[in-house]
Structure 1
Amino acid sequence: MLDISAVCLVITALLAYLNHRFVRLPTTIGVMVIALGLSLAIVMLNALGLDHGLRQYEESFIRSIDFSDVLMQGMLSLLLFAGALHVDLSELKSYRWQVVALALAGTLASTLAVGFGMRTVLPWIGIELPLLYCLLFGALISPTDPIAVMGILKSAGAPKNLELVVAGESLFNDGIGVVIFALILGMLTSGSVPTAGAAFELLAREAGGGIAFGLALGYTTYRLLKSVDQYQVEVLLTLAAVLGGYALASHLHISGPLAMVVTGLMIGNRGRALAMSDTTRRYIDMFWELLDEILNAVLFVLIGMEVLLIAFTAPLLFGGAAAIAVTLLARWLTVGVPVGTLRGFFRLPPGSSRVLTWGGLRGGISVALALSLPAGEGRDTILALTYCVVVFSILVQGLSIGKVIERAVVRGR
């Protein structure tokens, strides 16, 4: 494990250096572009017989990493807490119902829209994927990733209320998406369809339990922080709360992602205001910002390298293009249209529907969920489709969302 971690960090550091010196893209996107480019170059060299075992070595290294376990049991808790830590809860409260509508109703509607859309489109391409697998794809691809887009929103001068809604939706729909994914996967593995009451009970237990646990964990950590005034101990307490709390949530079978978001919101607001000195605030902010940057860079490097493990065929590439179109259309129908139509409810500036549609980036959680599926032809198809959507989302949408924000919202066109 130590060797794998060391190799990951060394590769990430070198790619981050190359990006900063020569490519000059946002760090997370830049390291992924370079990692993906190098992986594709190795594939080409292998096809020409000139790779000298590089492809075999990289594939062996990637297979030694359980990407799903690393993200879902390791990185995700830290990333979600770090993201929630800097959200102003007093400002978010005024948009709480808008965030709930997008994160809960939007994710559910998107899962159904993508699932039935793919079930309709894929047979035209020659790919047969059962409806439950299509719905699984819809569940894992619907959660959006705030990591790459938040910095761009700030640099492009997006209004504060739009930033809040994008951040709130992205933080909460990760947890909702994981719960929906688990529900559909349970139907697939058990071979039975749960009643509406059972499905609602599972959703309430996972989501409601995660939120309640996050409140309890956040309050306990806040009380501990308030009782001491030494930044080293307080930083350690926040780290222990995240790692220990996420592990306990998993054992309790409640939503760890939602628990971490709620804990982060409590520590970042009540804890920051009432339990921390100026020195502690500064060190906690620096620690979590640095950890967030490092983990995101490692995550996007791994996404770029994962391409070697996916067996692409011509139908799968066409299927990937169809998945991109269906996912964008579903995002527009379930988020863009409601935001554009119900302006009085969402209270966002004109043009926000375009930003929310194009800025719904997909990231590592979608790849991790796809990798967690049981082995089989359906898993391989879903993994290829997911990878196509994630790469397009990060490289194309991520690099162009700044211009969309500027034209749609800042300039008001």
Structure 2
Amino acid sequence: MDYFGIISVLIVLSAIFGYVNAKFLKLPTTIGLMLITIVFTLLIVILSIFDDSLLLREKELISGIDFKTVLLDIMLSFLLFAGALHTNFDQLRVQRWPVLVFATLGVLISTFLVGIFTYYLLMILGMEVAFIYCLLFGALISPTDPISVLGILKKANAPKKLETKIVGESLFNDGVGVVVFLTIFSVASSAAGSADGGVEVSDIALLFVQEVFGGLILGLILGYITYFLMKSIDDYEVEVIITIATVMGGTLLAHELHLSAPLAMVAAGLMVGHDTVRESAMSEMVETYVDKFWELIDVLLNTLLFVLIGMEMLILTFDFNYILAGLISVPLTLAARFLSLWMPIKFFAKRLNFVPKTNLIMTWGGLRGGISIALALSLSNEMHRDLFLVITYIIVVFSIIGQGLTVGPIVKKLTQNYVDEDEPNGLSHH
């Protein structure tokens, strides 16, 4: 099937599943879509006992999609730009230090903790996996998904300080997580490909700094150019096209310069969405069209993404030990996240008047998403791709369905007596 056929089938399925969810289940969109897709896929597997033609078609559809390329090289830039565009920069600036520490130090600590836990877990289960590959798994499972949790936090009327920390961290840690993963991936590949297994620490540090800071600087430059162009005209159609060009052209440029495209898009989106830029560069009509266009792109891509995640179960290797490792890894990754946030929260809590039980809420509210699956799919067979893909899939499904459905009530319960004081308006512009 060609790309047009694949996209058409996915959008038709997304529309049908979205309708079923909106009409009957009334779950948060991302959770409902993934749940329906998993049930749909399971029904096809059961039907294949009598007639496997539909199963073969779905497998053909999934195998025709390079999930890693589609998500990391195309969808992620659009999703992060849209998320950053609708984030209140002033609220984020107040919480900038904890958000920055969570998204950098937090991701690194989580990567190493998950790597250590996984190494010993697999050893206990009788699977010998090199520590560097367990670290790779730690890097791919540590980033959290801003898309899944934002709508849930809004419905729960979460305090804005808390909302800013969770969503701000998620926006940045996607980019940082990808860079950490690619850095460890290059180390693992170099070690596997060289006789002495040697790799220069200075090269690793340089690659990390270049990707992260280079990406952020590129994003700020792109944001300024976009602002300058939008300020000099008043034409909502052209201005929407300029924002699309920023994302697509900026992503290509970041890949060409070996910089982090996700971080570049977060920086560009925050700059273009800043209140000062909106007031000076966008008329009311332009602002409405830009916001509505990117909201639609956000919803459409997320719909496709979560339908794809549900269908990816067809390519998993259902080995008992793999499934057992995945189930045990769920509490282990939650424990690693709790511990990785503990020290930064302790440090900033009194200075910034943190919401009570922030660590607990951020641990449970840090949902894993498509990025983790895409990174797991990029592993080679030598890196135990099938094993880590099953573990990742189980964690992501539990995270989106189990944590996603319960984080709202938990936030309400733990913050019911907390009163926000002297805060700017909410995280979102809407």
Give the TM interval when normalised to the shorter protein.
over 0.9
Q: Is the 8 A contact 1:340 1:353 kept in 2?
A: no
Where in structure 2 are the equivalents of 1:97-136 lying within 5 Å? 97-136=97-136
Q: Quick one: distance in 2 between partners of 1:18 and 1:93?
A: 40
Cα gap change, 1:250 to 1:126, in 2 (>3 Å): same
Pair 1:202-2:202 in alignment: no
Q: Is the 8 A contact 2:98 2:345 kept in 1?
A: no
TM-score when normalising by structure 2? 0.93
Q: 1:411: Cα distance to partner?
A: 4.2
Q: 1:91: Cα distance to partner?
A: 1.7
Q: Quick one: distance in 2 between partners of 1:42 and 1:61?
A: 13
Name the structure 2 match of 1:399: 405
Q: Deviations over 1:80-139 (max 9, x none)?
A: 000000111122111111111100000000000000110011121222221111001100
Q: 1:341: Cα distance to partner?
A: 6.6
Name the structure 2 match of 1:312: 318
Q: Choose the corresponding residue for 2:253, options 248, 256, 266.
A: 248
What is the number of equivalent residue pairs in this alignment? 410
Q: Quick one: distance in 1 between partners of 2:75 and 2:381?
A: 23
Q: Give the match's secondary structure for 1:373.
A: coil
Q: Quick one: distance in 2 between partners of 1:353 and 1:409?
A: 13
Q: Is the 8 A contact 1:336 1:354 kept in 2?
A: no
Q: Gaps spanning 5+ residues in structure 2: where?
A: 192-196, 419-430
Q: Give the match's secondary structure for 2:350.
A: helix
Q: Gaps spanning 5+ residues in structure 1: where?
A: none
Cα gap change, 1:193 to 1:95, in 2 (>3 Å): farther
Name the structure 1 match of 2:38: 36
* Comparing 85-94 and 233-242, the one that deviates more: 85-94
Where in structure 2 are the equivalents of 1:12-411 lying within 5 Å? 12-46=14-48, 49-191=49-191, 192-269=197-274, 270-336=276-342, 338-339=344-345, 342-376=348-382, 378-411=384-417
Which amino acid in structure 2 is aligned with residue 300 of structure 1? F
Q: Quick one: distance in 2 between partners of 1:92 and 1:338?
A: 17
Q: Quick one: distance in 1 between partners of 2:383 and 2:322?
A: 12
* Comparing 249-258 and 185-194, the one that deviates more: 185-194
Cα gap change, 1:73 to 1:196, in 2 (>3 Å): same
* Comparing 126-135 and 190-199, the one that deviates more: 190-199
Q: Is the 8 A contact 1:350 1:409 kept in 2?
A: yes
Q: Quick one: distance in 2 between partners of 1:346 and 1:104?
A: 19
Q: 1:359: Cα distance to partner?
A: 0.5
Q: Give the match's secondary structure for 1:133.
A: helix
Q: Is the 8 A contact 1:352 1:409 kept in 2?
A: no
Q: Quick one: distance in 1 between partners of 2:71 and 2:120?
A: 31
TM-score when normalising by structure 1? 0.96
Q: Quick one: distance in 2 between partners of 1:337 and 1:195?
A: 30
Q: Is the 8 A contact 1:187 1:194 kept in 2?
A: yes
Q: Give the match's secondary structure for 1:254.
A: coil
Q: Give the match's secondary structure for 2:254.
A: helix
Moved over 3 A (4+): 192-196
Which amino acid in structure 1 is aligned with residue 327 of structure 2? A
Q: Quick one: distance in 2 between partners of 1:377 and 1:214?
A: 33
Which amino acid in structure 1 is aligned with residue 62 of structure 2? I
Q: Is the 8 A contact 2:190 2:199 kept in 1?
A: no
Q: Quick one: distance in 1 between partners of 2:345 and 2:289?
A: 38
Q: Deviations over 1:318-350 (max 9, x none)?
A: 100121111000011011464257521453111
Q: Is the 8 A contact 2:98 2:348 kept in 1?
A: no
RMSD: 1.4
Q: Quick one: distance in 2 between partners of 1:202 and 1:224?
A: 32
Q: Is the 8 A contact 1:98 1:345 kept in 2?
A: no
Q: Is the 8 A contact 1:157 1:410 kept in 2?
A: no
Q: Percent identity?
A: 47
Q: 1:170: Cα distance to partner?
A: 0.3
Q: Quick one: distance in 2 between partners of 1:17 and 1:161?
A: 34
Q: Quick one: distance in 2 between partners of 1:202 and 1:143?
A: 19
Q: 1:376: Cα distance to partner?
A: 4.2
Q: Quick one: distance in 2 between partners of 1:313 and 1:289?
A: 40
Q: Quick one: distance in 2 between partners of 1:329 and 1:194?
A: 31
Q: Is the 8 A contact 2:21 2:32 kept in 1?
A: yes
Which amino acid in structure 1 is aligned with residue 370 of structure 2? G
Which amino acid in structure 2 is aligned with residue 180 of structure 1? V
Q: 1:232: Cα distance to partner?
A: 0.3
Q: Give the match's secondary structure for 1:312.
A: coil
Q: Is the 8 A contact 2:21 2:27 kept in 1?
A: yes
Cα gap change, 1:354 to 1:341, in 2 (>3 Å): farther
Q: Quick one: distance in 2 between partners of 1:379 and 1:317?
A: 14
Q: Give the match's secondary structure for 1:344.
A: coil
Q: Give the match's secondary structure for 1:171.
A: helix
